[in-house]
Amino acid sequence: MLGGTLPIPLYAFWAPRMGFGPFTTTLVFAVYALGTVLALLVFASLSDRVGRRPLLAAALLAAAASTALFLVADDVPTLLAARFLCGLGTGVFTATATAALGELAGTGHARRASTISTVANMGGLGLGTIAAGLFAQYGADPTHLVFWVYLGTLVPALLAVIVTPETVPVRRRPTLSVRRPSVPEQRAARSEFLRAATGVLAAFAVSGLFSSLVPSFLREQLHVHNAAAIGAQVGLLFIVALIAQLTAPERWISGRRAAPAFLIAGVAVFEAGLWARSLPTFAAGTLLAGIGIGLVFRRGIEVTQRLADPRRRADLLATYFLSAYTGTIVPTLALGILDQTINQDIATLILAATVVAITLAGALNRPAAATAGAKTT
């Protein structure tokens, strides 16, 4: 997951060298999310048939190929190809590794598995931007050194996959097809899952904004030019999300009000910071939004793990992450297009209003009791 956010602080170095602007930046990020969505639709649930380890090993190889492309990239097409491969690997990681962790922990330790999953997801995303910013600001080669180091870390990761026990007891012949997103069959379980999916869609729309255009906002509107500071500001969103998941009171995680309240408040405050050109206000909004994203994501993982059919665990998790990454593609691309045609402040305001509307729609949906271990269709 760390590899997925390494490029974020580096667009400032690539853009003048390759001659692209904000729209191409959002396009590069959208291609990453598109690769993730494609992997979730085609490859992620494949691990329910052939096993977790083969898919995780293949995803690591895709990450290595993506990193190699970043190292040789000197034009936009190569950058797009690198980002797409990175997205493919991420899509397989998210569903397959989350399912494997749940199975390795066992039915009596579902909460532990959810915690480790969210630590790996949010912690990796946050550390990626921070590491890339530090390497870019203080390293000898801003756009290459961090990828050489990352490529080296994939070796012990592959060894870890090799020695990890396989958790799919009965493996079948692989078949490739575009899967239809699965949801629980029971009405109450389906309603609960769809609320979780709607919430993570809104949360990842916010993280998509931070991952694509916020670095340029920080430079152009808030006059922050230190790459390490930009990486830290973006990484702060994910690190706060991680801390919130680990330390928030149980009533915040299991309740239906705390997460939407923090997410909406965060969007409102950081939007106010952009309009007022105030870095402290923007940072305060980042903290609030990070808490909201963390609570939404943690609760969604727990709900999905609980409702998933054990024989198709990766399938339902793929649907959950599909909703998350769909939330990054459409708003981020729309923001990039709007940024070319209207005032940047108005463009971000439109996105903020959309996120608030989606969050409220999910939060105000009438709750219904769900059945554990529900079948999926």
Is residue 206 included in any domain, yes or no?
Answer: yes
pLDDT of residue 133: 93
pLDDT of residue 59: 93
Report residue 14's pLDDT band, with 50, 70 and 90 as the boundaries: very high
**Rounded mean pLDDT of 174-198?**
81
Half-sphere exposure of 230 (CA within 13 A, CB side): 32
pLDDT tens track for 313-347: 778 888 888 888 888 777 777 777 776 777 777 87
Is residue 173 included in any domain, yes or no?
Answer: no
What are the residues whose beta carbons fall under 8 Å from the beta carbon of 123, sequence distance 6 or more?
1, 238, 239, 242
pLDDT tens track for 136-159: 999 889 999 999 999 999 999 999
Is residue 56 included in any domain, yes or no?
Answer: yes
CATH code, 278 = 1.20.1250.20
For the cut 90, the answer to whether the pLDDT of residue 48 exceeds it is: no
| DSSP helix/strand/coil, 21 | coil
Identify which has the larger pLDDT, 36 or 180.
36
**Structural domain span for residue 260:** 2-165+184-364
What count of other Cβ atoms lies within 10 Å of the Cβ of residue 48? 25
Please count the structural domains in the chain: 1
pLDDT of residue 375: 56
For the cut 60, the answer to whether the pLDDT of residue 376 exceeds it is: no
Q: Tell me the C-alpha distance between 306 and 310, whole Å.
A: 9
Of the listed ranges 51-65, 108-122, 123-137, 324-338, the one predicted with least confidence: 324-338
Calculate what percentage of the chain has a pLDDT beyond 90: 27
Is residue 371 included in any domain, yes or no?
Answer: no
Q: Tell me the C-alpha distance between 12 and 160, whole Å.
A: 34
pLDDT of residue 177: 65
Cα 276–Cα 279–Cα 281 angle in degrees, nearest 5: 65
Is residue 53 included in any domain, yes or no?
Answer: yes
Cα 15–Cα 232–Cα 250 angle in degrees, nearest 5: 130
For the cut 70, the answer to whether the pLDDT of residue 31 exceeds it is: yes
Report residue 108's pLDDT band, with 50, 70 and 90 as the boundaries: confident
For the cut 70, the answer to whether the pLDDT of residue 353 exceeds it is: yes
Cα 296–Cα 298–Cα 301 angle in degrees, nearest 5: 105
Is residue 377 included in any domain, yes or no?
Answer: no
Identify which has the larger pLDDT, 329 or 84.
84
Model-level pTM greater than 0.85?
Answer: no
Is residue 179 included in any domain, yes or no?
Answer: no
**Rounded mean pLDDT of 226-255?**
87
Q: Tell me the C-alpha distance between 59 and 62, whole Å.
A: 5
Is residue 174 included in any domain, yes or no?
Answer: no
For the cut 90, the answer to whether the pLDDT of residue 205 exceeds it is: no
